[in-house]
Structure 1
Amino acid sequence: MAIDITFRGPLFDGRAERAIQDACIDARDDVASFAQEHALGLMRAAFRNPTGYYESRVTTTRVSSEVALVHDQGVVYGPWLEGVGSRNAPVTRFPGYWHWRRTKGVVAARGPQIAEAAVRRHLPEMGG
């Protein structure tokens, strides 16, 4: 007597694994996009005399398959705008806008929800 067992579906043919990888990529990109837009929104709302140059330098760079970095491309006065430059307290009374620190806190709070939404979009491909 022989029993034939056939496994079919996304878990067994590789579709689920590809969908999980796609969900991770989307989650990374969605969180980074949210972070970039949030930081730029804070800048638009707070900067008193914006020239547009600093905002134009804010970009997202993929550091690895799991990590994306939102940054100002090393603009020399970026630390001063943030309030962490060497010239903030001792030389000028300008405290900074704290746009990066505030964005970091919001992303830490909202990031899991954003990532979960990306995963949910791929659930049908995973067979869920």
Structure 2
Amino acid sequence: MRRFLVFVSLLLIACSPSWEESPYEVYYIDGTKTLGYSLGEGGYIGRIDEPVNITANEKFISVYACPYKACGFYYIDKIKDHKFAEHDEFVFGPYTNEQFIRLVKKLGLPSISSE
């Protein structure tokens, strides 16, 4: 019985999001890790696949991600984003490290590393 409880506890921890700032969460579906917009009750709209590092401020989310095994820097404009918006209206990238550093200074994006 004790082993069963430990197993269930570990399973629940593994299913919980690894990063969350409402309404955004990292979730897993079929082994793919995705940063998405939560609609509630387990529903999501995907924003960026395979995030590695995420940081946010009041206006933006900065993401270092490796979708399709091609790593780059991205950002989400939280002010423009909503559940009915088109993806290309508020998700920008990929950018190289040098390009992203310039955007951090220009737009006030939160700094992020590739680690």
Same fold judged by TM-score > 0.5?
no
User: Higher strand share goes to which structure?
Assistant: 2
Instruction: With the length of structure 2 as denominator, give the TM-score of the two structures.
Output: 0.32
- Could you say which structure has the greater relative contact order, defined with CA pairs below 8 angstroms and 6 or more residues apart? 1
Quick check: which has more Rg, 1 or 2?
A: 1
